[in-house]
Amino acid sequence: MTAAVTAPQTPDLAPPPPSGAALRVALVGNPNAGKTALFNALTGSRQKVANYAGVTVERKEGQLVAADGRRMVILDLPGTYSLRARSPDEVITRDAVLGRLAGEVPPDVVICVADATNLRLVLRLALELKAVGRPAVLALNMIDIAERQGLEIDADRLSADLGMPVIGTVATRRRGIADLVSAVEDRARDGGVNLGEHGWTEPSAAEIRALHREAERILKAAVRPPKRPDTWTGRLDDVLLHPVAGVLILLAVLFLMFQAVFTGAKPVMDLITAGFDLLSGAVAQTLPDGLLKSLICQGIIAGVGQVVVFLPQILILFLFIILLEDVGYMARAAFLLDRIMGGAGLHGRAFIPLLSSFACAIPGIMATRVIDNRRDRLTTILVAPLMTCSARIPVYTLIISAFIPARTVLGGLSLQGLVFFSLYALGMVSALAVAWVVRKVFWRSAAEPFLMELPSYKVPDPANVLRSVALRGQIFLQRAGTTILSMMILIWFLCTIPGKPAGAAGPAIDYSFAGHIGHLIEPVLAPIGFSWQMSVALIPGMAAREVAVGALGTVYAVSGGEEATNLLGASLAHQWSLASALAFLAWYVFAPQCASTLSVVKRETNSWRWPIIMFAYMTALAYAAAFITYRVAVGLGAG
Amino acid sequence: MSRRRFSPNPASARHCLFIGMLLVIIARDNFFTVQALIHTPPPLTDAPVTDVSLTDRLMSLADGRRGLVGVITEIGAAQTTPGAINADELERRLLEMGFVEGARVEILHEGFIGRDPICVRLDDMRVALRRREARGVILRVEQGA
């Protein structure tokens, strides 16, 4: 580490010991000010992402070594308009700046990141920071756009009025970064009159007005309005927010995104699945038969495959989300969708996670981070798995083709297709209904106001977009992947141990823990028409919904791969009543039959509480739906 | 008994969902437009912009239509509406977003369902908000209604 090298121009600093003496810098700024881009420019790839203790807020930290060898730790704090925190994210920003965040070293210097073309609100934030007394530097980011617009900013005047150095930067081109770093070092040396926590109280409305007037005065004195203001944003908004054209464009964008996630990821996912099957087969040939072989092939390799297979969908979805965010369209989409989603008590931005959940709930749940408000986000997470994901299709296909006659009804409509479509619709309607109930019954406190800045449109920076997308993939593999893998191995364990005694009849799974559990829960599932074989198949089916098809094949001892589906269907048609089959379909609309989803919910909410709640309510719904379906069907003579 | 193998086309199901959603949107949109046509008085197109009766009028931003231009004279006197956050908190949030006395506001766009939410130009920024939250923003009308 270069930390031991202390440059001659910093004589007042003792050579820092290898750790602990790094300068701690926090980035604070309005949303859309290019804070993340500046963070990337400062720290490059030396970043790590975690969660703040006990909350779901993401903690991004990076490292930087200044020209003189001084080490800096940069903390990227959530965007905010004021230190008067209104959300858990903003509480983190406030407490970090005030130095009262448990487990965090208070920052030595705060960099206030401003969009140089939109200074009004950030100047008030800078004044709030000044009042706290922590040494601060104002970074006028995107100064190139301001120059292009002919916006004249008197940096000296601004600096004098705010009492902090002002540095123009262009994060995406690394312009001004060195100046910013040396300004931060100078500030750290000067120190500040740090009032910290005791010098700060939440401002009243009158104080906000006073601060705003002061910011307004500074703005008038130091900034001359642009000679060539951005007219593109207005022209684009005329189309993109148009009641008809805007909605059509939005639907087209969402449709394109959905197609890309659903269809575009498919070949890569098939390739990954095939690759892991190949690997598993190759390993199987080198190992002797036995438990170890089963653990490695069916437990570990299949488990890792189960994690990696989600990656293409996650990367494609986040590519879209980050592009839409960076361009500035995401806020417009929320504007257009606010009323539709608001009817069900959801935020306008909940549309994107819910739409993605039609492909798979895992990228969908990860995408809920576009929603800032915690309760809106949790509601969306809770209902996302009710959207019919692609993993349900093989199960629906199997049962529908085995039990629903292939005839047309109501003048040309295929009955099978109709059943299939109603399962989709049932999922969607119940998701909206559950969201409504959560909002009305459990969270009866006031609805969050919808009050949001619509940023100017910007051309996204490819490097930043790719870095953000890669970061999402990395977070998924590191954080959610480990939980998914351990769940997969647990399920393997349940389905394999204890093994089948020599010479015993029937499939091996009957003798395993899963078999025992299946028999144990059979009395509970009997009222909804499930046989013990169906109950047993539910345990391996927790690995992923489509695994239930293979699991049914195992318990009914129908061997063979894809081609055996017809055989399995015929076998099921003999053994199940129509009522049981319909109850099984109803069960699959609601049941939390996916350990990976629960793992991702755990990761995204940073607690086991929410996956447990999700498991409980979805199981209850599934049981109720299957019960009603079964009883009605039996009553109509389908038993 | 022979059963034809059922191979659902997930794409067609998705298309149906999209078209259905679009139809719902269009139906609701038109419903509100028709309703608005029936209930709103004829537009004041003949009145010159400089008409004293217009320029001196105070109104809530929540009641404005697209094209309304005004200067904020007061924030936050509105009583708390049911289901909304309390008036003091809303006032501070509006202030923090730049809705302060003296700021110039223009309604640029209206949502396609019930003309809600609205997008306004606020000095040199653009802000989206629901009419419910705009209730407490009082303007001196300069143009439009």
Does any domain span residue B16? yes
Is A416 at the interface with chain B, CB within 8 A?
Answer: yes
Distance, in Å, from the CA atom of B35 to the CA atom of A191, rounded to the nearest integer, reads: 63
Count the domains in chain B.
Answer: 2
Cβ–Cβ gap B14/A453 under 8 Å: no
Same domain, A208 and A330: no
Does any domain span residue A234? no
Looking at the predicted structure, is the pLDDT value of residue A202 above 50?
Answer: yes
Does any domain span residue B47? no
Q: Tell me the CATH number at A93.
A: 3.40.50.300
Kindly identify which residue of chain B lies nearest to residue A452, measuring between CA atoms: B128
Does any domain span residue B23? yes
Give B33→chain A minimum CA distance, Å: 11
Of A401, A424, A453, the CB nearest to B127: A453
Of A120, A390, A449, the CB nearest to B98: A120
Q: Per mean pLDDT, which range of A165-174, A181-190, A500-509 is the poorest?
A: A500-509
Contact B96, A127 (CB under 8 A): no
Task: State the maximum Cα–Cα separation within chain B, in Å, rounded to a whole number.
Answer: 84
Same domain, B27 and B59: no
Say which residue the tokens 């950030």 belong to: A122
The closest alpha carbon to A7, from A68, A65, A67, A51, belongs to: A68
Is B46 at the interface with chain A, CB within 8 A?
Answer: no
Give A255→chain B minimum CA distance, Å: 8
Cβ–Cβ gap B8/A400 under 8 Å: yes
- Domain containing A18 equals 2-224
A215 contacts on B by Cβ (under 8 Å): none
Does any domain span residue A145? yes
Pairing of strands A109-115, A136-141: parallel
Cβ–Cβ gap B13/A336 under 8 Å: no
Same domain, B56 and B109: yes
Cβ–Cβ gap A454/B119 under 8 Å: yes
Residue-level pLDDT at A503? 74
Residue-level pLDDT at A336? 92
Q: Name the pLDDT band for B49 (thresholds 50, 70, 90).
A: very low
Q: Which residue has the higher pLDDT, B100 or B30?
A: B100
Same domain, A285 and A346: yes
Looking at the predicted structure, is the pLDDT value of residue A275 above 90?
Answer: yes
Residue-level pLDDT at A8? 40
Same domain, B56 and B89: yes
The helix-helix angle for A177-190 and A35-43 (nearest 10°) equals 90
CB contacts < 8 A, A to B, total 166
Residues 6+ apart with CB under 8 A from A293: A283, A284, A287
Same domain, B24 and B89: no
> Residue range A517-532: average pLDDT?
90
B101 contacts on A by Cβ (under 8 Å): 209
B96 contacts on A by Cβ (under 8 Å): 81-82, 84, 121, 124, 208
State what percent of residues in chain A have pLDDT above 90: 42
Q: Per mean pLDDT, which range of A224-228, A395-399, B81-85, B103-107 is the poorest?
A: B81-85
Residue-level pLDDT at A351? 83
Is A266 at the interface with chain B, CB within 8 A?
Answer: no
Residues 6+ apart with CB under 8 A from A543: A306, A487, A488, A491, A595
Is B7 at the interface with chain A, CB within 8 A?
Answer: yes
A246 contacts on B by Cβ (under 8 Å): 112
Q: Tell me the CATH number at B68.
A: 2.30.30.90
Same domain, A562 and A604: yes
Residue-level pLDDT at A151? 92
Same domain, B27 and B88: no
Is B136 at the interface with chain A, CB within 8 A?
Answer: no
Residue-level pLDDT at A195? 54
The closest alpha carbon to B96, from A384, A47, A124, belongs to: A124
Cβ–Cβ gap B3/A339 under 8 Å: no
Cβ–Cβ gap A212/B14 under 8 Å: no
* CB contact residues (below 8 A), chain A span 120-149, against chain B: 120-121, 124
Q: Name the pLDDT band for B45 (thresholds 50, 70, 90).
A: very low
Residues 6+ apart with CB under 8 A from B42: none
Q: Which residue has the higher pLDDT, A259 or A214?
A: A214
| pLDDT tens, position by position, A487-508 | 888 888 888 888 777 777 777 7
Does any domain span residue B108? yes
Is B36 at the interface with chain A, CB within 8 A?
Answer: no
Is B74 at the interface with chain A, CB within 8 A?
Answer: no
Give B50→chain A minimum CA distance, Å: 25
State what percent of residues in chain A have pLDDT above 70: 93
> Residue range A286-302: average pLDDT?
85
Looking at the predicted structure, is the pLDDT value of residue A209 above 70?
Answer: yes
Same domain, A624 and A547: yes
Residue-level pLDDT at B104? 95
Same domain, B74 and B34: no
> Residue range A524-543: average pLDDT?
87
SS3 call for A478: helix
Q: Name the pLDDT band for A3 (thresholds 50, 70, 90).
A: very low
The helix-helix angle for A415-437 and A374-383 (nearest 10°) equals 150
Cβ–Cβ gap A397/B83 under 8 Å: no
Same domain, A424 and A545: no
Of A233, A331, A335, the CB nearest to B111: A335
Cβ–Cβ gap B3/A400 under 8 Å: no
Burial bucket for residue A8 (CB in 10 Å: 0-12, 13-18, 19+): exposed
Cβ–Cβ gap A212/B100 under 8 Å: yes
Does any domain span residue A504? yes
Handedness of CA A126, A128, A129, A134 (dihedral sign): positive
Residue-level pLDDT at B125? 93
Mean pLDDT of chain A: 86
| Spacing of C-alpha A179 from chain mean position | 35
B109 contacts on A by Cβ (under 8 Å): 237, 241-242, 335
| pLDDT tens, position by position, B84-103 | 677 888 899 999 999 999 99
Residue-level pLDDT at A2? 38
Same domain, B62 and B127: yes
Does any domain span residue B1? no
| pLDDT tens, position by position, A70-92 | 899 999 999 999 998 887 788 89
> Residue range B120-137: average pLDDT?
93
Q: Per mean pLDDT, which range of A166-175, A328-337, A404-413 is the poorest?
A: A404-413
Same domain, A37 and A186: yes
Count the domains in chain A.
Answer: 3
Does any domain span residue A144? yes
Give the Å distances, CA to CA, from B85 to A202, B77, B82, B92: 18, 14, 8, 11
**8-state DSSP, B43:** P
Distance, in Å, from the CA atom of A562 to the CA atom of A147, rounded to the nearest integer, reads: 62
* CB contact residues (below 8 A), chain A span 170-229, against chain B: 203-205, 208-209, 212-213, 225, 229
- Domain containing B94 equals 52-143
Same domain, B96 and B130: yes
Tokens representing A152? 């004249």
Same domain, A362 and A328: yes
Of A212, A339, A358, the CB nearest to B14: A358
Is B31 at the interface with chain A, CB within 8 A?
Answer: no
Same domain, B77 and B126: yes
| pLDDT tens, position by position, A346-374 | 888 888 888 888 888 888 898 888 787 78
* Phi (first) and psi of residue B140, to 5 degrees: -95, 115
- Complex ipTM > 0.95: no
Does any domain span residue B78? yes
Same domain, B34 and B61: no
Does any domain span residue B64? yes
Distance, in Å, from the CA atom of A616 to the CA atom of A613, rounded to the nearest integer, reads: 5
Same domain, A172 and A34: yes
Most B CBs within 10 Å, among A117, A127, A451, to test the B interface: A451
The most confident of the ranges A388-397, A586-595, B44-53 is A586-595
Does any domain span residue A529? yes
Cβ–Cβ gap A339/B132 under 8 Å: no
Is A79 at the interface with chain B, CB within 8 A?
Answer: no
Q: Name the pLDDT band for A42 (thresholds 50, 70, 90).
A: very high
| pLDDT tens, position by position, A313-322 | 889 988 998 9
Does any domain span residue A516? yes
| pLDDT tens, position by position, A449-490 | 888 999 999 999 999 999 999 988 888 888 778 888 888 888
Same domain, A103 and A208: yes
The helix-helix angle for A578-590 and A609-635 (nearest 10°) equals 160
Of B29, B101, B132, the CB nearest to A243: B29
Does any domain span residue B75? yes
B114 contacts on A by Cβ (under 8 Å): 339
B10 contacts on A by Cβ (under 8 Å): 262, 390, 393
Kindly identify which residue of chain B lies nearest to residue A249, measuring between CA atoms: B22
Q: Name the pLDDT band for B80 (thresholds 50, 70, 90).
A: low
Same domain, B24 and B72: no
Give A417→chain B minimum CA distance, Å: 7
Looking at the predicted structure, is the pLDDT value of residue A162 above 70?
Answer: yes
SS3 call for B46: coil
Looking at the predicted structure, is the pLDDT value of residue A17 above 50?
Answer: no
Same domain, B72 and B99: yes
> Residue range A155-171: average pLDDT?
94
Give A553→chain B minimum CA distance, Å: 17
